[in-house]
């Protein structure tokens, strides 16, 4: 399998190079040159297949010869060592809970898959040639990357996060692992962290001293394994004998874009719905036909505070850059923080379900879409555990949230982070540690 750059100005590369490079040299996102549908028999008997087999069959063609099948299957097995339950919340509406991984967010699957691929590619290298994954986080990404790469040989991870701007649980997830994971607490905002990371990638003084790479969501190894969720949910809902609609709360649109790849592989998805917060570039585009990126706005669903969704170019490519085709497959809605809080209350009081603010937006969007579609069964993706957002969930609900075991064992652990405020400090830390 080869990948080309969506900016069309860089050489085609293998899966391995796409993973190692992250972004193409022309700054374009990598996209697979060819997408082969899975045989119809695969979908006819999907309920008889276990999740590891399904995932392996789905990802195989995208990895190609770069990882032998037995090793790839082992990677998939390790990545998927937790559950992806589908629960009925009310008639015709299901939730797909993606938060049962080690850091309680759906990003665990992509981060773990990418970590294991990089680890595999580094395995046979001279051991001195360590790579350093440098990543800025506003919360969920850092924890998933830290955990995914923990103890992966040949890879050091350095995570920058804005001091005082991530939740206590998120901070503990970043700062208590140790070993090959280092946390840098930046006196500044997420944007400051991001700017420092970008500067480091362009800084030639690291040459020969540290090989820097990124683990952000545009990497094909983080993006593609998110396809698995859609296969798993379809497998559970198939017996209802109805068309299936997926509603995905979105920020960078990587998750939903992976669902669209699953559809390309032949997964019978009737329609996609996306819910956003006030950062509503895509819903506006679907309405007006004008794609206007914006500076991001802060909301209570902060993992979706994205004003320039990086994966949207991939979605355009999947639907041949044809707005009418896209509209026939995707409907978008946006919601305010007040509407999100109301949805949290509604779900809790009427359906005894505790959602997080991101999942609540997925629920709202699904309800709105299904008003005009009575034939389908809907599933919304619950992208993080509510315990990660205690500071923004209404108090009466917070009191009912039970701490998962992984959180209980995390809280007493000691935080270790290097405090910095300038790029120069980051640089000297990277050059001396
Ligand atoms: C990252 C994240 C999202 C947004 O996912 P995208 O792939 O960027 O659209 C939604 N919810 C939570 C909890 C997240 O961490």
- Three-class HEC string of 252-319: CCHHHHHHHHHHHCCCCCCEEEEEECCCCHHHHHHHHCCCCCCCCCCCCCHHHCCCCCCCHHHHHHHC
Locate the ligand 1 atom nearest the alpha carbon of residue 139 and give its number.
Answer: 15
Count how many domains the chain has: 1
Residue 415: is its pLDDT beyond 70? Answer: yes
Q: Is the CB of 300 under 6 A from ligand 1?
A: no
Q: Is the CB of 304 under 6 A from ligand 1?
A: yes
Residue 165 lies in a domain: no
User: What pLDDT score was predicted for residue 12?
Assistant: 98
Counting Cα atoms < 13 Å in the Cβ hemisphere of 55 gives 24
Q: What is the pLDDT of residues 118-168, one digit of tens each?
A: 999 888 665 557 789 999 988 788 999 999 999 998 899 999 999 988 888
Q: What percent of the chain has pLDDT over 90?
A: 85
Instruction: Give the mean pLDDT of 330-340.
Output: 98
Residue 174: is its pLDDT beyond 70? Answer: yes
Q: How far is CA 301 from the centre of its chain?
A: 14
**Packing angle, helices 69-79 and 107-123, rounded to 10:** 140
Q: Is the CB of 250 under 6 A from ligand 1?
A: yes
DSSP 29: P
Residue 403: is its pLDDT beyond 80? Answer: yes
User: What pLDDT score was predicted for residue 127?
Assistant: 53
Instruction: Give the mean pLDDT of 224-232.
Output: 98
Q: Average pLDDT, whole number, for the chain?
A: 95
Is the separation of the CB atoms in 409 and 377 below 8 Å? no
User: What pLDDT score was predicted for residue 189?
Assistant: 86
Q: Is the CB of 251 under 6 A from ligand 1?
A: yes
For the annotated catalytic residues, the residue numbers are 107
Residue 91 lies in a domain: yes
Of 96, 100, 223, 249, the one to substitute when testing ligand 1's pocket (max ligand atoms within 8 A of C-beta) is: 249
Residue 367 lies in a domain: yes
CB atoms within 10 A of CB 424: 10
Position of tokens 């085709």? 325
Q: Is the CB of 277 under 6 A from ligand 1?
A: no
Residue 353 lies in a domain: yes
Residue 132 lies in a domain: no
User: What pLDDT score was predicted for residue 251?
Assistant: 94
Q: Is the CB of 221 under 6 A from ligand 1?
A: no
Query: Ligand 1 centroid vs 107 CA: distance in angstroms?
Result: 8
Annotate 79-131 with DSSP letters as a single string: HT-S---EEEEETTEEEEE---STTSBTHHHHHHHHHHHHHHHHHTS-TT--E
CATH of the domain at 381: 3.40.50.1100
Residue 135 lies in a domain: no
Locate the ligand 1 atom nearest the alpha carbon of residue 257 and give its number.
Answer: 7
Contact partners, residue 240, CB within 8 Å, separation at least 6: 377
Q: What is the pLDDT of residues 80-113, one digit of tens each?
A: 999 999 999 999 999 999 999 999 999 999 999 9
Residue 273 lies in a domain: yes
User: What pLDDT score was predicted for residue 125?
Assistant: 66
Query: Ligand 1 centroid vs 283 CA: distance in angstroms?
Result: 16
Of 95, 97, 104, 106, the one to substitute when testing ligand 1's pocket (max ligand atoms within 8 A of C-beta) is: 106
| CA torsion through residues 385, 388, 391, 392, sign | negative
Distance of alpha carbon 324 from alpha carbon 155, whole angstroms: 44
Total-model pTM: 0.95
334: its two tokens: 């946006």
User: What pLDDT score was predicted for residue 167?
Assistant: 86
Residue 396 lies in a domain: yes
26: its two tokens: 């022309």
Structural domain containing residue 258: 83-103+223-402
Q: What percent of the chain has pLDDT over 70?
A: 99
Instruction: Give the mean pLDDT of 166-192.
Output: 92
User: What pLDDT score was predicted for residue 214?
Assistant: 84
Residue 194: is its pLDDT beyond 60? Answer: yes
Contact partners, residue 432, CB within 8 Å, separation at least 6: none
């Amino acid at each position: 399998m080869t990948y080309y750059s969506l900016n069309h100005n860089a050489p085609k590369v293998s899966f391995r190079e796409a993973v190692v490079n992250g972004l193409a040299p022309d700054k374009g996102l990598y996209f697979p040159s060819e997408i082969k549908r899975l045989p119809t028999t695969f979908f006819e008997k999907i309920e008889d297949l276990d999740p590891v087999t399904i995932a392996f069959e789905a990802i195989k063609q995208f990895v190609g010869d770069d990882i032998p099948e037995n090793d790839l299957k082992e990677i998939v097995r390790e990545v998927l060592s937790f559950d992806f339950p589908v629960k009925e919340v009310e008639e015709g509406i299901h939730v797909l809970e993606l938060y049962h991984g080690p850091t309680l967010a759906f990003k665990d699957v992509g981060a773990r898959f990418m970590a294991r691929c990089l680890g595999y590619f580094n395995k046979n290298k001279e051991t001195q040639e360590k790579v350093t994954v440098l990543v800025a986080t506003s919360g969920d990404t850092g924890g998933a990357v830290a955990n995914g790469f923990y103890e992966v040989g040949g890879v050091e991870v350095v995570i920058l996060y804005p001091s005082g701007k991530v939740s206590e649980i998120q901070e503990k997830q970043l700062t208590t692992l140790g070993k090959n994971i280092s946390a840098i607490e930046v006196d500044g905002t997420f944007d400051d962290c991001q700017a420092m990371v970008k500067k480091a990638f362009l800084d030639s003084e690291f040459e020969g001293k540290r090989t820097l790479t990124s683990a952000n969501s545009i990497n094909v190894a983080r993006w593609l394994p998110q396809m698995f969720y859609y296969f798993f949910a379809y497998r559970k809902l198939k017996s209802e004998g109805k068309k299936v609609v997926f509603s995905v709360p979105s920020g960078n649109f990587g998750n939903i874009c992976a669902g669209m790849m699953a559809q390309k592989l032949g997964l019978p998805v009737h329609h996609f719905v996306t819910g956003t917060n006030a950062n509503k570039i895509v819903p506006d585009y679907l309405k007006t036909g004008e794609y206007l990126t914006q500076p991001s706005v802060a909301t209570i669903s902060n993992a979706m505070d994205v004003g320039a969704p990086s994966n949207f170019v991939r979605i355009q490519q999947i639907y041949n850059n044809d707005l009418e085709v896209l509209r026939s497959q995707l409907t978008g809605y946006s919601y305010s923080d007040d509407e999100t809080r109301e949805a949290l209350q509604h779900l809790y009081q009427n359906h005894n379900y505790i959602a997080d603010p991101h999942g609540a937006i997925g629920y709202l969007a699904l309800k709105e879409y299904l008003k005009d579609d009575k034939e389908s069964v809907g599933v919304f993706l619950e992208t993080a555990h509510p315990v990660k957002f205690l500071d923004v969930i209404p108090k009466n609900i917070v009191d009912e949230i039970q701490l998962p075991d992984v959180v209980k064992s995390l809280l007493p652990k000691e935080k270790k982070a290097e405090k910095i405020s300038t790029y120069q400090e980051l640089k000297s830390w990277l050059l001396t540690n």
